[in-house]
Structure 1
Amino acid sequence: MATNLNVVYGDTHFFGDVCKNFDYAAQFTQHDAGLLDQIKSCNSVYRFRFPIRKGNGFEVIDAWRVEHSHHQSPTKGGIRYSDMVNEDEVMALAALMTYKCAIVNVPFGGAKGGIKINPKNYTVQELENITRRYTVELIKKNFIGPSTDVPAPDYGSGEREMGWIADTYSTMNPGQLDSLGAVTGKPLSLHGIAGRREATGRGVAMAVRECVSVAEDMQAIGLTAGINGKRVIVQGLGNVGFYSAKFLAEYGATIVGLCEYEGAIYNENGLDVDAVFQHRKETGSILGYPGAKEFKNSGEGLEQPCDILVPAALENQITVENVGRLQTKIIAEGANGPTSPEAEAIFYKNGGIIIPDMYANAGGVTVSYFEWLKNLSHVAFGRMNRRFEENANKNLVNMVEGITGVALTDVQRNAIVKGATELELVNSGLEDTMIRSYHEIRSIYKGNSKIDTMRTAALVGSINKIAISYQNLGVWP
């Protein structure tokens, strides 16, 4: 049993919360205290500064890369571009990546990066200079590479930045066959993978759909089983929030509320996510969308009636101050760390369920794993077998038509004989991952009456898997 791990949280907040959650879950495992301390600690924290030319002068940029765990190689994690980035946050996100990868059975250690800038304050050329210089600094310290540490997009970064990183790394490593595997989330033109952009949001939607499909659990919180008609509020219309809302609507849910930093809108009859997104693109705000009740204070949007709340913006959005005003039964954490531990305890006490971030938003790293495999194998998924499958299916359909005398329509025939595209294979792999992982977590949660939250159950499973990896490495007997 884990006791007295002697963690000093100091002035940390986010990483401290992650460590507190870890310590609480660790008591439900049987591992040596030293091993648990190794699993929890950040192995490598690299903080650095570099100058860039801005206008007629220079500016010094603060940046970080944290490798939390080397129980699997490479380590994996996004790079956040934000003027709110700090070392504590990057450490916390790196730790969450370790646990996240273990939860969904992706063979990576956790890492995270951060550049302390507001991208809106820089030209495209300046952003490119910052990104390429950041990459060079990582290369110099061996903090990037297809078998070492593989970055990906995060808040404030995207395909464009990952393309710059891939080009810089390849340029600095001439002749390295697997150089494009040093970063994921790249554009398709640079050997990215279909479905990566929407993967995190799609994964959140799949997690919610799987959660509400369990009739026993829904009955316990006063809801019917199934996603159809469930009222959903989503906070954040960035990449994760937009696609979470979009796919939940496709699955049959009703998006009744959307929240952004400028305010929130609500309509109990439902909102058209694409139309709201277009309205914001044209006007710069979700406020003023026709037919919706609006709130100038974004936080009020979280407190409107719904069945499922999806915080998909930044951490620490649900606290002891506002959790009592929430009118929802399920919180699905699209963002990292949106719920404080104290608020989580209150929410569960009030009869709710939280789908934890470590699982709910793991779609991005899952599809990044597929992209990494694609880059190492140097062939797109489906390229080798798609036409073979189509021809085999055609032969089967022809044989069945000949035996039965029943001719299929062109639409029916095409639906049966077509081979899977890369996108379909990626989505299939993601769906299988999210479904299997949810029931692994639920099994732990339901199998021990002392485990009181899904987050604790997810961490218990994660800790056990990481401990086995260390033992297989021979680090612990």
Structure 2
Amino acid sequence: MAQEQHYDFFKSVERSFDKAAKFTKWENGILEQIKACNAVYQIKFPVRIGDRIEVIEAYRVQHSHHKLPCKGGIRFSDAVNQDEVMALAALMTYKCAIVNVPFGGAKGGIKINPRNYSPFQLENITRRYTAELVKKNFIGPGVDVPAPDYGTGEREMSWILDTYMSLRPGEIDGYGCVTGKPVSQGGVRGRKEATGLGVFFGLQELCNIKEDMKRIGLEPGIIGKKVIVQGMGNVGYHAAKYFHEAGAIIVGLIEWDGALYNEKGLDPEAVLKHRAETGSIINFPGAKTLGANGEGLEMDCDILIPAALENVIHKENAPRIKAKIIGEGANGPITPEADEILNKKGVIVVPDMFLNAGGVTVSYFEWLKNLSHVRYGRLGKRFDENMNIHILGVIEDLTGKSVSERERKFIAHGADEVDLVYSGLEETMHAALHEVRTIMVNHPDIHDMRTAAYVCAIDKVGAAYDQLGIFP
């Protein structure tokens, strides 16, 4: 059954592509090249687990070589298979194009449940997988750059980096072979929260567009919006955190083992603390615990953010969804059938291929940092602070007035690395939203943001292939 679901996920990507392709100018040959996966690497390798040898199944798919390196995360899940990895790699190509990140799409996966292995065993598996990628030239700062995904994080990226550098000693840009690393190993500040923060920036900008909010009966702005987030992993938690801090009301939080609902609001930090203490979010004080986590998706809210796995909103539950805006924090959380139902209901669906691009955007910043071999802000921070203090002093002398110490610190502050990363991410998400929305508004036959996003991506990738001159 799992195999069939993931196959449907890949088919749904192709289906969305085909729907949008007819609104572009490219001939069928170029469209077929854009849609095709350029390289699929299936690996099976042995690893000793305890007193036995286990054969591990793994994948790395490079969807598009229109720009290099390829870019995409590596997930650890016992549901991994080739169709899923191909679909996610394709989405990465389109995602990078929409947010103007100059990468081709890729994705990787190891078919294991990480909960079933010790850290030592996971390290052995990760290092062997990396060695297999190096052997076939499927990893490198100018070739293919992995990143964290479901079931992986900074720890796994450290193992990948160390293995790569041991096999390619002296490679001056070697630290750019993988992103999502700890800051101490060439990572960039702000990477961990990047995807969730990108979800927030994208939806925040949408909520500021008066025409769109009027169409669905909501007031502009984030403050007071009722939000439900599915998934309390890295993406869902940070999305909920930033909405909460901006004045939205987090009325629902959903995890794999249950869901919470409180129309007066939930504090994501407190829920996370409760989960750390009890092992689950259920029975959180003051909140209603729902019997099934799927029920949480159907509760009353303004914004629903599915930030877990794919296909959680389908043709059976889509008619019962009450949200007026759905922001896809996860990859492929809505099936094509559900998409049609929601569009007919007038729900604004902000698609994954744009909205969860915060991770790859900040990964791009990390990659650039690794290639430049200098921390963001190092060269300019002190100069900016000294200049700001000087300008403030001149203004105070001319006016005879002084600002408070708090205001002085704010004005004088020079941009740190994390400030620049957040600023770049916010600009990227805002610009991409308006680019996609402009396509939808200006084309009379495009009525949903997903189709507009695909049109945007196809046009950019098509132009890249056309400019390469590979079609005589």
Tell me the TM-score normalised to structure 2 length. Answer: 0.98
- Aligned residue among 278, 296, 301 for 1:301: 296
Residue identity matched to 2:171: Q
- Aligned residue among 353, 356, 364 for 2:359: 364
Question: 2:400 & 2:219 partners in 1: Cα distance?
Answer: 44
Asked if 1:159 corresponds to 2:154, the answer is yes
Summarize the alignment of residues 173-322 of structure 1 with structure 2, pairs less than 5 Å apart.
Answer: 173-322=168-317
Asked if 1:53 corresponds to 2:44, the answer is no
Question: 2:237 & 2:376 partners in 1: Cα distance?
Answer: 26
- Aligned residue among 372, 381, 395 for 2:376: 381
- Aligned residue among 115, 140, 146 for 2:141: 146
Deviations for 1:291-339, whole angstroms, at most 9, x for unmatched residues? Answer: 1111121000111000000000000000000001111111100000000
Asked if 1:36 corresponds to 2:36, the answer is no
Question: 1:229 & 1:253 partners in 2: Cα distance?
Answer: 5
Find the counterpart in structure 2 of residue 402 from structure 1.
Answer: 397
Aligned Cα RMSD in Å? 1.1
Find the counterpart in structure 1 of residue 105 from structure 2.
Answer: 110
Distance 1:11 1:105, change over 3 A: closer
Question: 1:340 & 1:353 partners in 2: Cα distance?
Answer: 15
Deviations for 1:247-269, whole angstroms, at most 9, x for unmatched residues? Answer: 11112211000011101010000
TM-fit CA distance, 1:178 = 0.4
Question: 2:7 & 2:22 partners in 1: Cα distance?
Answer: 22
- CA contact under 8 A between 2:43 and 2:58: conserved in structure 1? yes
- CA contact under 8 A between 2:6 and 2:81: conserved in structure 1? no
Asked if 1:84 corresponds to 2:79, the answer is yes
Find the counterpart in structure 2 of residue 458 from structure 1.
Answer: 453
Question: 1:364 & 1:222 partners in 2: Cα distance?
Answer: 31
- CA contact under 8 A between 1:212 and 1:226: conserved in structure 2? yes
Secondary structure of the equivalent of 1:419? Answer: coil
TM-fit CA distance, 1:471 = 1.2
State how many pairs are aligned: 469
Tell me the TM-score normalised to structure 1 length. Answer: 0.97
TM-fit CA distance, 1:133 = 0.3
TM-fit CA distance, 1:10 = 12
Find the counterpart in structure 1 of residue 165 from structure 2.
Answer: 170
Question: 1:248 & 1:417 partners in 2: Cα distance?
Answer: 28
Question: 2:341 & 2:326 partners in 1: Cα distance?
Answer: 13
Question: 2:44 & 2:239 partners in 1: Cα distance?
Answer: 35
Question: 1:43 & 1:22 partners in 2: Cα distance?
Answer: 16
Question: 2:336 & 2:414 partners in 1: Cα distance?
Answer: 46
Residue identity matched to 2:466: Q
Q: Which runs of 4+ in 1 moved over 3 A?
A: none
Question: 2:146 & 2:123 partners in 1: Cα distance?
Answer: 16
- CA contact under 8 A between 2:297 and 2:304: conserved in structure 1? yes
* Greater Cα offset, 422-431 or 295-304: 295-304
Question: 1:112 & 1:470 partners in 2: Cα distance?
Answer: 21
Residue identity matched to 1:340: T
Find the counterpart in structure 1 of residue 386 from structure 2.
Answer: 391
Residue identity matched to 1:69: S
TM-fit CA distance, 1:11 = 9.2
Asked if 1:17 corresponds to 2:39, the answer is no
Secondary structure of the equivalent of 2:454? Answer: helix
Find the counterpart in structure 2 of residue 348 from structure 1.
Answer: 343
Question: 1:144 & 1:342 partners in 2: Cα distance?
Answer: 36
* Greater Cα offset, 326-335 or 398-407: 398-407
Question: 2:338 & 2:6 partners in 1: Cα distance?
Answer: 20
% same residue: 59
Secondary structure of the equivalent of 2:7? Answer: coil
Question: 1:196 & 1:418 partners in 2: Cα distance?
Answer: 22
